Amino acid sequence: MTSRQPSEPHPRQPYQADADDRHDVAIATCEDCGDNFDLANSDPRTRVCAPCWDRSLEAVETAFLDNYAKFGAKAHRTVAEALFRSQALADPDDRKVIGMRIVEEYLNAAQELMALYVALRRRHEQPLLTTFTNFELNAPSVAAFRILTTGRTSDELMRDLQLPTLADVEAARGEIPRKDWRQFAGAVTAVADGIGRVQKVDQGVLLELADGLRQSSALTHKLEWLPDRVMNPDQVALVVLNQRRRVLMTHALAIHEPQLEVFIDAIDKITAASRDLIWLYLHVRDTLALEEQQTDTASGPQRGPQQGQKWGRA
């Protein structure tokens, strides 16, 4: 009988520089470039070094964003609208549960738009996928997002991301096809509208909802069983037990139809902003790459030296 080979290659054994050394280093060989790298702070099954890992993420960035725009971002709106329609056939208690799930889709959509904004803003520092997938909705991240976006005009938001502003789009009216011009203008406006809908919800309420949904393992439609707690008939509550503080917390939310319609509209605006933000980024990036290629191969003076600035080049 032949012994089975392990399904994953193992890194080299730790380098024993000194039997008394308490800080031996685990060395592995990168499968992509062949260089040795230190496994400190990494899973011992890691196969590639950090630079090769970043390059692999950058290689799939376009495909990831394109698929996310067509499916991932749209999914929140699709689910929320399906849940909203299902309320017509649900009993009162079921409608509360459905309403809570619609709110959860709003929070997911808001988190992903914030993550996308921060990831695009930091794209020159680390791979976009790294920032986007590691983003968490918490007090520091929400506060940072609001500092970056609160009180800013549409043009200021776009300039912060090094993307075309409405002024840039207007200036290019005679240089690009009318259809493209209208799509650019609509996308810039949609991004600002989506960010505005995230800002519209008070920071404390946003975090309270997020923490409640993340920590709670129970929903309740009544609170009379708790001392000094009351809840309106159109509300549902999340129950959170904080064992360390010895506190039983409840997060109540109104889920009547008019309120849910507000959330549905917000989800629509936010997911549209995510899709249009991705479209702007990919379109401008490809345009600038084509211009650089043409500049490198062309002889004589550069063509259109202001075009790069017009579409958001730093």
- Calculate ∠ Cα 216-221-225, nearest 5°: 90
Q: Which of 276, 114, 118 is nearest to 188 (CA)?
A: 276
Question: Any idea which residue has 């309270």 for tokens?
Answer: 208
Do 227 and 139 reside in the same domain of the chain? yes
Do 27 and 143 reside in the same domain of the chain? no
Residue 303 has pLDDT above 60, yes or no: no
* Average pLDDT over every residue of 183-203: 90
* Average pLDDT over every residue of 74-85: 94
Residue 99 has pLDDT above 80, yes or no: yes
Do 55 and 111 reside in the same domain of the chain? no
For 50-65, how does the pLDDT look when each residue is reduced to its tens digit (9 = 90+)?
999 999 999 999 999 9
Helix (H) or strand (E) holding 171: helix 166-171
* Average pLDDT over every residue of 213-237: 82
pLDDT class of 152 with cuts at 50, 70, 90: very high
Whether 313 is covered by a domain: the verdict is no
Domain count, the chain: 2
Do 36 and 64 reside in the same domain of the chain? no
Q: Are 48 and 31 in contact (CB under 8 A)?
A: yes
* Average pLDDT over every residue of 94-118: 92
At residue 231, the pLDDT reads 84
Whether 50 is covered by a domain: the verdict is yes
Spatial CB neighbours of 188, under 8 Å, sequence gap ≥ 6? 154, 158, 163, 164, 165, 166, 169, 276, 280
> Does residue 134 or residue 17 have the better pLDDT?
134
Least confident among 122-136, 152-166, 236-250: 236-250
Residue 5 has pLDDT above 50, yes or no: no
Residue 66 has pLDDT above 70, yes or no: yes
Do 45 and 105 reside in the same domain of the chain? no
Q: Are 72 and 141 in contact (CB under 8 A)?
A: no
Do 161 and 36 reside in the same domain of the chain? no
Do 37 and 180 reside in the same domain of the chain? no
Do 16 and 94 reside in the same domain of the chain? no
CA–CA separation, 287 vs 281, rounded Å?
10
Do 220 and 79 reside in the same domain of the chain? yes
- Whether the model clears a pTM of 0.95, i.e. scores above it, the answer is no
Task: Determine the structural domain holding residue 47 and report its residue range.
Answer: 10-59
Q: Are 160 and 277 in contact (CB under 8 A)?
A: no
Q: Are 106 and 212 in contact (CB under 8 A)?
A: no
pLDDT class of 121 with cuts at 50, 70, 90: very high
Do 26 and 102 reside in the same domain of the chain? no
Residue 310 has pLDDT above 60, yes or no: no
* Average pLDDT over every residue of 158-162: 94
- Calculate ∠ Cα 206-132-72, nearest 5°: 80
Whether 164 is covered by a domain: the verdict is yes
Whether 312 is covered by a domain: the verdict is no
CA–CA separation, 143 vs 238, rounded Å?
24
Residue 2 has pLDDT above 50, yes or no: no
